[in-house]
Amino acid sequence: MLGYGYGILNSLIVTLALLISFAILMLGQAQSNSRTHLDFIEMIYFSIVSFTTVGYGEITPIHETFALSITIAFLFLSVAWGAIVTAVIVKRLVR
């Protein structure tokens, strides 16, 4: 895990970095039911909802190639990262 060993703290840091990176990339690329321009806090919320694959649907990416491709890539990344974090936690519990 980035050369720092396996650890819950490192997993948390990488998870937060992924969420913030996705939120920054999606600024101006999403819309809600009531308005088109969302602020950074709403993008963090969208990142968390997308990362946990809940996908409530009140915030959606604008139907452009960039926004949709970033969201799809992030969804696949979240599934893979969830498996890695689960493996780290199970490894800690088994010890």
**CATH number, residue 50:** 1.10.287.70
**pLDDT tens per residue, range 42-93:** 888 888 888 887 777 788 887 778 888 888 888 888 888 888 888 877 877 7
User: For the chain, what is the domain count?
Assistant: 1
Q: Within a domain: residue 1?
A: no
Element (H, E) at 43: helix 40-51
Q: Within a domain: residue 52?
A: yes
Residue 32 DSSP code:
E
Q: Within a domain: residue 57?
A: yes
Distance, CA of 76 to chain centre: 10
pLDDT at 40: 87
3-state secondary structure of 30: strand
Domain of 89 in residue numbering reads as 8-94
Residue entry with tokens 């968390």: 48
Find, among 95, 45, 53, the residue nearest to 74 by Cα: 53
